[in-house]
Structure 1
Amino acid sequence: MIHNVHMDELPIMDDEYELTREQIESYQKDGHILLRNVASQTEILQYEPVISQIVEQKNYHDKPVSERDTYGKAFIQIGNIWTMSEAGKRFVMAKRFAKIAADLMGVEGVRIYHDQALYKEPGGGHTPWHQDQIYWPLDSDKTITLWMPLVPISEEMGTMTFASGSHHLGYISKLAISDESHKTLGQFIEAKKIPQVNYGAMDAGDATFHAGWTLHSAPSNPTNRTRKVMTIIYYADGTRVAEPDSNARRNDLAGWLPGCKAGDVAVSPLNPLVYRR
């Protein structure tokens, strides 16, 4: 367990972050949005060391970046840190974040699918073009990922690039994150002339939100600092489990929705309801 953290000192982020109607409409049209200052500098300064400590303890990579495959080069990836420490849980369960997710999707309530700390090390490789939801056995397009830097990210270090409106196309290709997905989906985006948006530099506590079907990618990290990002994936409460039609989805079903099977409402002890109107 993680030590030296006094829970009573950690901020509870349950207040509201007001969205405008324009922001909600823009997200629903484009499948992505950047929101500034979703968590304050003070909040991030308190949570970043806690999350980084978990990532350090759980880092499973035993090879230097240069010797890993494309997926391994992209980042250190630690899932469900909310189950690993009370502090991690307080961050991931923040009602402020969950309500933004519900508001953007226009739903009554949201559950956590899972969280992931994604730390792209110095020299870490690019994240190929992909759709998150090819991995998720969820029978709904009401899924969304919060992507929040825990450190300032310069333009050089690189934030995500989104293919605007690609979420309206649903399931485009079942290619898992790979060099092949990067090439094939890159060509698809060019051929269809889908506009690409990159929000440039982001501060710690800013966040992008993107839909499960939105095509996105990220560049490599040429700097000598780790790009520390925390992500939380939400889905609409009441969503049912889809028939897992690939190994990726079968693995996800077992890992993130334990005990659930196709047709069930997607609820397990790992999928708490974080916000309801």
Structure 2
Amino acid sequence: MRINHLLKYFKRDPKHQRRVIITEVIPVLFMRLEALQRIYEHNGVVKIDHMFSREEINSLRLEYDSLIETRETSEIYRDEPLVVLWTHVVGAQKKTCRLSELPGFKSLIYKKIAPFIASFLDANKKVELLQLLEVIVFNKPPQKSNVLNWHQDVAYFPVKPNNQVAVWFPLSDVNSEMGPMVYAHGSHKLGIKGSTNLHTREVFEGEDRELIPDNPQDIGLEVQEYPLTQEQMLIHDGYTWHYSKPNRSENSQRMGVSVRFLTETVVFDPRPGQGAAFTKQIDVKPGDKIESPCFPIVWKRS
């Protein structure tokens, strides 16, 4: 909740407004943040209200639309962060671009999202750094997109230790009909699971870890979907199970952005089915630190 939203509840003379902020508004903001942190710790996911303005998200949408109109390449870049442009239709080819080709996205990640995540997670001094790992812009076209099956992010990345945090936010409002994100609350406490094909759930060759069940409710987990407006953002733990439904709307594009961060120094630890694009971006051997302009450190505890 923003300060100006809280101030409307207090009828004071302007000369008393400083006292209102210090004695009444700031404590409420701290309590609100602490409540959100408790939800995140318990569920492995939390929704943040009033994170963005519609104007700044609409400007990102225009920037994306301008780029994707003529984009054909799937090149893997080795000199800066990569953005994956992923249409959720079986058989569709992922496209790519450099993060610098989407300057509005880059500015939002560096100047707004990363500082917020750092302050949100570092309250208990559990986070060493934020290292940008992946940026994806998803598009689920109406009537022909598919389910993206249950998975957890950490299962797909060849790093150790494997602690991550991700944010997800829409480029347009996403209601229940359009295929919102769905999470299994508390699943982040159940350890790492096996990686599968996200479209078919086919197990990757050599994968020997226990798989996420078809229905997490069968093992007692609460499953909840998260419709979002352009002003909202989700934060989820890298171990939290999630999936998304097809876009069953008549003509609405369901578009969202995922930004993933590592939260501590990691080394390369390859396994079957992990990090295809990741391993093409950097020359590393097992046990090497992940240090590359492709994966910049955007915040570090001083």
TM-score (norm: length of structure 1) = 0.78
Taking only aligned residues, the RMSD between alpha carbons, in angstroms, comes to: 2.9
2:68 aligns with: 55
1: CA distance, partners of 2:153 / 2:69: 25
Q: Specify every segment of 5 or more residues in structure 1 that has no aligned partner in the other structure, as ranges.
A: 1-16, 62-69
Verify: 1:20 aligned to 2:33, yes or no: yes
Q: Distance in 2 between matches of 1:122 and 1:141?
A: 35
The structural deviation recorded for 1:27 is 0.8
Identity %: 21
Following superposition, the deviation at residue 115 of structure 1 comes to 0.4
Distance in 2 (CA, whole Å) between partners of 1:59 and 1:186 is: 36
Question: Does structure 1 residue 209 correspond to structure 2 residue 209?
Answer: no
Matched, 1:243 2:269: yes
Residue pairs, 1:18-167, within 5 angstroms: 20-58=33-71, 72-73=89-90, 78-79=95-96, 81-94=98-111, 96-102=112-118, 103-104=120-121, 106-123=126-143, 124-167=145-188
Change (3 A) 1:131 1:75: farther
Offset at residue 104 of structure 1 (A): 2.9
TM-aligned CA distance change 1:98 to 1:30, over 3 Å: same
Task: For 2:130 and 2:38, locate their aligned partners in 1 and report how far apart those are by CA, in whole Å.
Answer: 19
TM-score when normalising by structure 2: 0.72
Asked if 1:196 corresponds to 2:241, the answer is no
SS of the residue 1:262 aligns to = coil
Per the TM alignment, residue 132 of structure 1 is displaced from its structure 2 partner at its CA by: 1.7
SS at match of 1:72: coil
- How far apart are 1:77 and its partner, in Å? 5.1
Partner amino acid, structure 2, of 1:180: R
Does the C-alpha gap of structure 1 residues 185 and 71 become closer, same or farther in structure 2, counting only changes over 3 Å?
farther
Distance 1:185 1:241 in 2: 25
Deviation, 1:144, is 1.2
Give 1:92's aligned amino acid.
Answer: I
Structure 2: state its 5+ residue gaps. 1-28, 75-86, 204-210
**SS of corresponding position for 1:58:** coil
SS at the partner of 1:274?
strand
Distance in 2 of aligned mates of 1:128 and 1:239: 29
**What is the CA-CA distance between 1:51 and the residue it aligns to?**
2.0
1:164, distance to aligned residue in structure 2 (A): 0.9
Which SS does the other structure have where 1:46 is aligned?
Answer: helix
Task: Find the aligned partners of 1:39 and 1:81 in 2 and give their Cα distance.
Answer: 23
SS in 1 for 2:174: coil
Deviations 1:91-114 (A, max 9, x none): 3323x2113333236414201001
2:258 and 2:96 map into 1 onto residues whose CA distance is: 9
The one-letter code sitting in structure 2 at the alignment partner of 1:259 is: D
Counterparts of 1:143 and 1:193 in 2: how far apart (Å)? 25
Alpha carbons 2:88, 2:141 under 8 Å: kept: no
Residue 171 of structure 1 aligns to which amino acid in structure 2?
A: I
Partner of 1:171: 192
Amino acid at match of 2:222: P
